[in-house]
A and B are shown apart, each in its own frame.
Chain A
Amino acid sequence: MAGNAADTTPRIPTVPESDLTRTYLLVLIVEAVVIACLFWLSRAFA
């Protein structure tokens, strides 16, 4: 059986939220840059 009577936690009403698409893209770009820097580090000091 899905759901249950004893589960009384109230749902949170939906409110408008900020669009974080640009932040997500920035996360991925920063990760790529950091990995590239680490790759450079291993080459530069090999």
Chain B
Amino acid sequence: MRALDWTVVAVYLTWIVWSGLRAANRSNDVDGYLRANRSLPWWAVGLSVMATQLSAITLVGTTGQGYADGIRFVQFYFGLPIAMVILSMTLVPFFYRSGVYTAYEYLERRFDVKTRTLAAAIFLAQRGLSCGVIIAAPAIILSIVLGWNLFATILAIGVPTIVYTMYGGVQAVTWTDVKQMAVVLGAMTAAVVVLILGLPHDVTVAGALHVAGALGKLKAVDTRFDLREKYTIWSGLIGGVFLSLSYFGCDQSQVQRYLTAKSLTQSRQSLLLSAFVKIPLQALILLTGVLTFTFFLFHRAPLLFNPVYAQQVQASPRAEEYRQLEREYDAKSDARSQAAERLAAAPADNQSPVEAKFVREAFRQADADVRDVRVRAAKLVKDVSGDTGYTDVNYVFPTFILQYMPIGLVGLMIAAIISAAMSASSGEMNALATATMVDFYRRHVNPNAADATYVRASKIATAFWGLFACGVAVYAANLGSLIEVVNTFGSLFYGSVLGVFILALGFKRANGHGAFAGLIAGLAVVFTVAYAPATKDAISYLWFNVIGAIVVVTVGMIVSLATPRTQPAI
């Protein structure tokens, strides 16, 4: 990074912290600190909802996924718009009109305190860990590609976020989210322009897409019904609806965003913004990854995108083996580049179907040859480093940024990655603090304190969860495989928590005993399905959300019917 890039990053960090701290003036009481006095416009809340979901893992990982696997991951989001409509019609009016601060507060009014406390505790455990991973993932990548100290990188992301979230509360989170979304979208647009301008003169964008399409990277819709396949239209539409219902309807980090809107209508509109924008936005981020793939067809990519592992192998006794692979890779990359140029020009050349098929097959073979060398290089890394889970897709986009983006824009891209991490983690910290204060401190420890006491408790809770997340980030960074474990952690809980809210809204006869027993049973079944040897590879994780919800509703109703009817407080 050059001085100008450092300046851009420094200006960005100063701007965000300053604008976050400005919100502190409007956060002097509990309602202002946790709910922004219900004063925010729908578009700001909607952008905040999206920013909280769009972490640096999304930005770097999704482009890497587009590079390696094409755009089929977009199916993961197919259920989201349907879920947003369902939530706008059902849960959102209940939350908004009941005047709650947290989703779990509503559960006590409908069921009982034990159900509320268990659901809130699940949220704290799951989100506390995931907040650490949100900070750890970009910190690891930035520290490796830029040679920064890992601990310092974690603090550079975590500390400014803690400061403005602690002092400014939900208003700081929302307005900085809006700015951070603008930075992310601006940076991604700049990256797409550089990627397109970087194509050879005789290769058009359509030609580049034609090349990517020949490898199936533009296959966005898979209509097969296979429970083992992670991403199909069915897992996206069915599993994705349940996942989105649970995440946006029952997770405090999202619920808190739309409780800050000026009115119920604006609260609904904020969710519907995501319903309109999310799938096209994710498709564009994945397409950026696909364009990165075509870019690297014509600009030699490194054999290993992770520079630390490349240096480690070069310094090992097997360095000569690696150099041999590099020579083979260079030759095969050149052959693939020529085959790609021929294929990209094919639509304009008016080739016969037979010629076109020959050109396409030649390119596919050349790409398979390159992939074969990369697989052998990855195996070499695994042997030398002992990291059996080695994959370098997360380093593809940062490598492009550092090697091919112009000065100044490199700083903007790094600011965008930091920005995505900060916007996602600030929403998490704010929600964790709110649940801690409202569902535990105010409910169980100090129910009749003054407003100022609750604001102070919320600030202390924000600082605690921020520092906890930084601690988890350091720990997760040292145990690389933990990141994957924690990333799939959410799906183990989401469906069961959703099941409790379905019981609350859809079944009048359901009572607190049923909801509590159902929640325990749902978690037990999902954990069994996820980890039992007979089932763990048979069902993809998106279906856990469906299973959890169904078990909770079934068991919850059986127990409710077997126990005395209760009168809800709402």
Q: Which residues of A contact B (CB under 8 A)?
A: 1-4, 6-12, 14-15, 17-18, 20, 23-24, 27-28, 30-31, 34-35, 38-39, 41-42, 44-46
Contacts and interface: CB of A to CB of B under 8 A. Distances in A.
B89 interface: yes
A6 B444 CA distance: 9
A17 B264 contact: yes
B109 A28 contact: no
B264 to A, nearest CB: 5
A14 B97 contact: yes
B85 A24 contact: yes
Contacts of B447: 6, 8
Given A9-B100, A9-B105, A28-B85, A38 B74 contact: yes
A44 B214 CA distance: 11
B206 to A, nearest CB: 8
Given A34-B280, A35-B78, A2 B97 contact: no
26 contacts: A1-B566, A2-B110, A2-B568, A6-B442, A7-B443, A8-B447, A9-B98, A9-B101, A10-B99, A17-B263, A24-B89, A27-B81, A27-B84, A27-B276, A31-B78, A31-B81, A34-B279, A34-B283, A35-B78, A38-B220, A39-B220, A41-B218, A44-B213, A45-B209, A45-B210, A45-B213
Nearest to B98: A11
A35 B101 CA distance: 36
B109 A31 contact: no
B265 A18 contact: yes
Contacts of B279: 31, 34-35
Contacts of A12: 96-99
B417 to A, nearest CB: 26
Q: Is the interface of A mostly helix, strand, loop or mixed?
A: loop
Contacts of A31: 78, 81-82, 275, 279
Contacts of A27: 81, 84-85, 272, 275-276
Contact of B99 (A9, A17, A30): A9
A18 B280 CA distance: 27
A35 B97 CA distance: 35
A7 B109 contact: yes
B71 interface: yes
A3 B85 contact: no
Contact of A2 (B100, B111, B219): B111
A12 B263 CA distance: 10
A-B pairs with lowest CB-CB distance, top 10: A3-B569, A45-B213, A6-B447, A38-B220, A42-B219, A31-B81, A12-B99, A18-B265, A27-B275, A45-B209
B113 interface: yes
Contacts of B78: 31, 35
Contact of A39 (B112, B221, B272): B221
Contacts of A1: 112-113, 512, 566
A31 B570 CA distance: 35
A29 to B, nearest CB: 10
A45 to B, nearest CB: 3
B71 A38 contact: yes
B108 interface: yes
A17 B265 contact: yes
B221 A15 contact: no
Contacts of B109: 2-3, 7
B569 A38 contact: no
A7 B100 CA distance: 10
B219 A46 contact: yes
Contacts of A42: 213, 218-221
Nearest to B38: A12
Nearest to B86: A24
Contact of A20 (B97, B209, B268, B566): B268
Interface string B73-115: 0100010011011001100000011111100010011111100
A46 B360 CA distance: 10
A24 B89 CA distance: 9
B112 A2 contact: yes
Contacts of B511: 2
B567 interface: yes
Interface string B219-250: 11100000000000100000000000000000
Contacts of A44: 213
B212 interface: yes
